Amino acid sequence: MVEQLSVFLANEQGRLARMCRLLGDAGLNMHALVVADTADYGVARVICDRPHTARGVLERDGFAVSVTRVIAAEVPDRAGGLADVLELLGNEGVNVEYLYCFLKPDAATAVDILRVEDAVAASEILTRAGVSLLHASQVYEPDAV
Amino acid sequence: MFQPELETMPSEALRALQLDRLRTQLRRVYDNVPLYRRKYDEAGFEPDSLETLGDLKRVPFTVKDDLRAAYPFGMFAVPLRDIVRVHSSSGTTGQVSVVGYTRGDIERWSDLMARTFACAGATADDIVQVTYGYGLFTGGLGAHYGSERLGAMTIPVSGGNTARQVQILKDFGVTVLACTPSYALLIAETAASMGVDIRSLPLKVGVFGAEPWSEAMRSQIEDALGITAIDIYGLSEVMGPGVASECRHKQGLHVFEDHFLIEILDPHTMEPVADGEQGEVVFTTLTKEGIPVIRYRTRDISRIIPGECACGRTFRRMERVTGRTDDMLIIRGVNVYPSQIEQVLMGIPGVAPHYQVVLGKRGSMDTVEVQVEVGPDFAFDEIRELESLQRKVAGAIASSLAVSVDVKLVEPRAIQRSEGKAKRVLDLRREGE
């Protein structure tokens, strides 16, 4: 399981840039970013290094940030790769709230980030079926303990 | 109690004192202020004809426009050489009015504000940080003189520079904070961002006034600062702060009736309402020399809380003012006070206690947008959670106030913080015309 930041963004010029700049200045690299938007506001979902440090950096600047636990699944980079994974979950009645994916530059697999209601149960289903799930340290630099 | 012999006076003695002072006051304004003489002559009211307090209903009213028209000194009842201080209304609505104080007025005002601090439980042992603005606004100097009169150590910080306010609160071991309720919340927020645990400081009580606030906001402030929050009331036209104050029982504000006569009137008929019923608050000053006001229509809505208070004060209590008729919004025919919206918001987890009501126009239709900040603890990862919060806020406002409004969620701290009176309503309708 990995940790994702959800950042509330007013629909105003420069807010996303400000968020990225703060993370950049703190030396926190982003590995994936997706923005869900409505007419008035958006929510940026970010996979980045040291998520709890990143949360602190953003909150000190007035951003509303929450940390969400999501599943990072390694999916073969070929036609139908994701469909297999989703069918596994669908057959077990697991509903996916949202999903996005990114490619690691040097790998033959894509990483899919899945947000489901019961992440523990979904992880078990996938592991049982032989899908490889990534740990935090395989995706980003975790916070120092 | 600061003046127990006066504050617990038997009510018969109090009424006799009021009548005696009222008769003197009416004669003085008739003799010294042309506006009163003209009004009373026109109405056929003879100032010496007042026999009972009930006769007060024959006396013409004084309104805010009278004071504005008399700008600057036209309603002073003494020669300027007897005036030692002037203040002016904070200009909450329209043009300002100027008020003058004689040396005696300042003495009495100091006593009344000392009473106010004592009502909140303060004594000479306390350290009072006065964060009301010093200047033409009555809040700063009014609180300052009262705190000194009580014998408390008084810190005249005035408003602004919130980080410094927090530093002083902490370093000086302040026990009593006097400011507007919205500023108290900003101080709490600022302390948190500075890493100061404000709840662990010696601060124990807040003396808050100068803007309407709700019971829910009181809980929020008490919780955020770890203090008891006391509501105080006053207005510059009547004197400034120190007209009425809650005691530690927080069951309404004791009106300092030996100096101010309170009436609650039906705002349409201007007839008195029964004790316990809501109406417009009308004040008559009984001892003021510089600028006495007779039956001054405050436009504030309140009621007399019937019954005695456990604190032993015999002064009757008025309910906290929920709004001024001037602040009242008429939204598609429904009367709404911003403080009612506040009360609703405070009951909803997930939103912060900061809000602004924006009035606009879409075609010929008035629109009302309530902007609320997403609370720091709200887990808003999913858009549908946010949308459901938005619907919940709109639904709660619709069900308790019977008006439909648009709700816009904004980022924390997006709503401008005020160091004095919070600006709760932004009216954009004029700009489009």
Residues A77 and A131 in one domain: yes
Question: Is B349 within 8 Å of B369 (Cβ atoms)?
Answer: no
Q: What's the CATH fold of domain B1-325? A: Rossmann fold (3.40.50)
Say what the alpha-carbon torsion angle B91, B250, B353, B280 is, to the nearest 10 degrees.
Answer: -40
pLDDT reading at A25 higher than 90: yes
Residue A53 phi/psi, 5-degree rounding, is -65, -45
Nearest to B411 among A10, A36, A97 (CB): A10
CA-based nearest distance B375→chain A, Å = 8
Residues A119 and A81 in one domain: yes
Q: What is the pLDDT of residues A128-145, one digit of tens each?
A: 999 999 999 988 999 987
Q: Looking at residue B430, what is its pLDDT?
A: 58
Q: Looking at residue A103, what is its pLDDT?
A: 84
Contacts of B411 in chain A (CB under 8 A): 8-10, 15, 41, 62-64
Residue B173, amino acid: G
Question: Is B381's Cβ below 8 Å from some Cβ in A?
Answer: yes
Residue of B189, B384, B411 to mutate when probing chain A, most A C-beta within 10 A: B411
Residue A144 lies in a domain: no
Residue of A3, A12, A66, A115 to mutate when probing chain B, most B C-beta within 10 A: A66
Count the neighbouring beta carbons within 10 Å of the beta carbon of residue B401.
18
Nearest to B379 among A45, A62, A66 (CB): A66
**Phi and psi based region of residue A36 (left: phi greater than 0; alpha: psi -120 to 50; beta: remaining):** beta
**What is the full per-residue pLDDT of chain B (433 aa) written as tens digits?**
999 999 999 999 999 999 999 999 999 999 999 999 999 999 999 999 999 999 999 999 999 889 988 989 999 999 999 999 999 975 555 567 899 999 999 999 999 999 999 999 999 999 999 999 898 989 999 999 999 999 999 999 998 889 999 999 999 999 999 999 989 998 998 999 899 999 999 999 999 998 888 898 899 999 999 999 999 999 999 999 999 999 999 999 999 999 999 999 998 899 999 999 999 999 999 999 999 999 999 989 899 999 999 999 999 999 998 777 767 787 766 778 888 888 888 888 888 878 898 888 777 677 889 999 888 777 778 888 888 899 999 999 888 887 788 999 988 888 888 777 777 888 787 544 3
Among A50, A68, A86, identify where a domain stops.
A68
b/e code A64-79 from CB counts within 10 Å (16+ = b): bbbebebbbbbbeeee
Residues A126 and A87 in one domain: yes
Q: Looking at residue A109, what is its pLDDT?
A: 85
CA-based nearest distance A106→chain B, Å = 30
CATH of the domain at A8: 3.30.2130.10
The per-residue DSSP string of B110-135 comes to HHHHHHHHHHTT--TT-EEEE-SPPS
| CB-based contact B410 A41, cutoff 8 Å | yes
Nearest to A40 among B375, B380, B408 (CB): B408
Residue A109 lies in a domain: yes
How far apart are the C-alpha atoms of B108 and B115, rounded to whole Å?
Answer: 10
Question: Is A35's Cβ below 8 Å from some Cβ in B?
Answer: no
Owning domain of residue A52: 2-68
Q: What is the count of structural domains for chain A? A: 2
Q: Which helix (H) or strand (E) holds B18?
A: helix B11-32
Residues A27 and A7 in one domain: yes
Residues A110 and A100 in one domain: yes
Among A38, A68, A98, identify where a domain stops.
A68
Residues A129 and A75 in one domain: yes
The per-residue DSSP string of B138-151 comes to HHHHHHHHHHHHHT
Q: Which helix (H) or strand (E) holds B84?
A: strand B83-88
B204, burial (CB in 10 Å: exposed 0-12, middle 13-18, buried 19+)? middle
CA torsion through residues A33, A34, A37, A43, sign: negative
Residues 6+ apart with CB under 8 A from A61: A18, A22
Q: Looking at residue B433, what is its pLDDT?
A: 37
**CATH 3.40.50.12780 occupies which residues in chain B?**
1-325
For residue A33, how far is the Cα from the chain centroid? Answer: 7
How far apart are the C-alpha atoms of B314 and B257, rounded to whole Å?
Answer: 9
Residues A74 and A133 in one domain: yes
Residue A60 lies in a domain: yes
Residue A41 lies in a domain: yes
Nearest CA in chain A to B371: A40
Nearest CA in chain B to A117: B382
Alpha helices in chain A (DSSP H): 15-25, 51-60, 81-91, 119-128, 136-139
Nearest to B414 among A10, A45, A98 (CB): A10
Q: Looking at residue A23, what is its pLDDT?
A: 97
The dotted CATH code for B329-427 is 3.30.300.30
**Phi and psi based region of residue B332 (left: phi greater than 0; alpha: psi -120 to 50; beta: remaining):** left
Residues A98 and A42 in one domain: no
Residue B85, amino acid: R
Contacts of A66 in chain B (CB under 8 A): 378-381
Instruction: Average the pLDDT over A41-60 and give the result.
Output: 94
Structure tokens at B95: 């043009």
Q: Looking at residue B91, what is its pLDDT?
A: 55
b/e code B167-202 from CB counts within 10 Å (16+ = b): ebbbeeebbbbbbbbbbbbbbbbbbeeeebebeebe
Residues A126 and A77 in one domain: yes
Residues A55 and A104 in one domain: no
**CATH 3.30.300.30 occupies which residues in chain B?**
329-427
